[in-house]
Amino acid sequence: MSFDTRAGTRGARQPKGRVLRWMNTLMARRIRRRRGGKFMGFDALVLRTIGRKSGEERLTPVGWFPVDDGSRLIVASAAGAPGNPAWYYNLAANPDRVRIDVNGETIEVRAEQLHGAERAEAWDRITAAAPRFTEYQVKTDRELPIIKLTPRGGQ
């Protein structure tokens, strides 16, 4: 499936700037050092994407939700902002060049945006575990993308 969520016309202010970059760097180190951990109350991983413009590796801590098949779900919420987070566009440009750091391991994954019934089922699971995402969805008129990260190869 394609990465096709366009920016909305309304929403909360998207977190950005030096302070956010500093916090992301600090949290990424913490998650990797502790072999897992929590970020804003969620199980956390470090998402390693390739910048669509720069070609450089980008590290972003994100909350994740388990899937029965061993995959993980993440939400490109940007706290309910009208635009998608930068990492969403990096995933869209390079869905096969993604790695995650979780539980002391670095795992190569394939990123896929969920649509239709599969997205609806995932959304119900996510909002039951983390009602905060319902609040984020109300703030914006874009549908918050849900991304499934599936391990590649024999991992």
Domain boundaries, the chain: 18-151
Handedness of CA 16, 51, 123, 108 (dihedral sign): negative
pLDDT at residue 127 is higher than 80: yes
Determine the pLDDT at residue 98.
98
- Tokens for 4? 């096709």
Amino acid found at 4: D
Q: Write down the pLDDT at residue 28.
A: 78
Homologous superfamily in CATH for domain 18-151:
Electron Transport, Fmn-binding Protein; Chain A (2.30.110.10)
**Secondary structure of residue 140 in the 3-state scheme:** coil
Give every CB contact of residue 6 below 8 A, 6+ residues apart in sequence: 142
- The reply to whether the predicted model has a pTM over 0.85 is yes
CA distance 152 to 23: 29
* DSSP class of 33: H
Is residue 44 pLDDT above 80, yes or no?
A: yes
Question: Which residue from 20, 150, 40, 2 is spatially nearest to 86, judged by alpha carbons?
Answer: 20
Query: How would DSSP label each residue in 47-93?
Result: EEEE-TTT--EEEEEEE-EE-TTS-EEEE--GGG-SSPPHHHHHHHH
Name 102's Cβ contacts closer than 8 Å, sequence gap at least 6.
36, 45, 46, 64, 72
What is the mean predicted confidence (pLDDT) over 21-26? 75
Instruction: Give per-residue pLDDT as tens, 79-107.
Output: 999 999 999 999 999 999 999 999 889 99
Instruction: Return the structure tokens found at 57.
Output: 């590796």
